[in-house]
Amino acid sequence: VDWLQRWQENKIGWHKNEINARLIKFLSQLNLNVGGTIFVPLCGKSLDMLYLAEQGFKVVGVEISKKAIIDFFTENNIPYQQQNDNFISENISIINKSFFELTATDLSGVKAVYDRASLVALDKPTRQTYAQHLATITQQCPILLLALDYDQDKLAGPPFAVSPDEVGELFSDYQITQLESFNDIANETKFISSGLKAINKDSYYLSQALLASNS
Ligand SMILES: C[S@@+](CC[C@H](N)C(=O)[O-])C[C@H]1O[C@@H](n2cnc3c(N)ncnc32)[C@H](O)[C@@H]1O
């Protein structure tokens, strides 16, 4: 996928004009203190960042498209400053670079991660790299992961199907709690047209696995 071209041509079918219902439902699972910082990888211009800020959290996003970032701040009337590749506002800052070039230093202070349409935006080999890099740069802080699963033979991604088994493999160093799974096919016209009968929306809470102790 050429993401920059998608943004230039405004082919951004993933973008929603409402806050994600599953974020609202499951945010508290992250147990984030007010004032705590939450990382939103591959953030696009998601309004979910506004919701997170409204709940009293600081938000750090990373997004490869500068247009997406500028659109986010201007469309929501949020004053911002640009410092090199960092777009900064009072509660939300977005780093304009590739996720894969982020370091732990870029994310110092991050206490939790919110992933919606980020992992599932990537092809299978890249998902492996993504999961490993995410664990490294966030020092395995808790993740609210919204994924989806469907018969990949019937439709090419993105969004790609990511099964519960794959989540288990990708995040094998975490303790994984599946919070919810439901078939949302009634709301997914594109998937119905492809002959699919199911698209499961799966929400997970990933947390650092308890380390085995020898003592
Ligand atoms: C499917 S969209 C989801 C955006 C957002 N999470 C949402 O829910 O609206 C994926 C986004 O990731 C961005 N992206 C793709 N690869 C990236 C990378 N390596 N680093 C940073 N952003 C990337 C794209 O420009 C696009 O905005």
pLDDT digits (tens, 9 = 90+) for 115-137: 999 999 999 999 999 999 999 99
Name which residue sits closest to atom 6 of ligand 1, judged by CA. Answer: 43
For the chain, the average pLDDT equals: 96
Read off the pLDDT band of 32 (50, 70, 90): very high
Name which residue sits closest to atom 24 of ligand 1, judged by CA. Answer: 3
The rounded Å distance from CA 62 to ligand 1 centre is 8
Residue type, 25: K
How do 92-95 and 143-149 pair as beta strands?
Answer: unpaired
Residue 1 has pLDDT above 90, yes or no: no
How do 86-88 and 37-40 pair as beta strands?
Answer: unpaired
96 lines ligand 1 (CB under 6 A): no
Q: Which residues contact 75 (CB under 8 A, 6 or more apart)?
A: 45
99 lines ligand 1 (CB under 6 A): yes
Residues found in the chain: 215
Residue 215 has pLDDT above 60, yes or no: no
d(CA 143, CA 135): 10
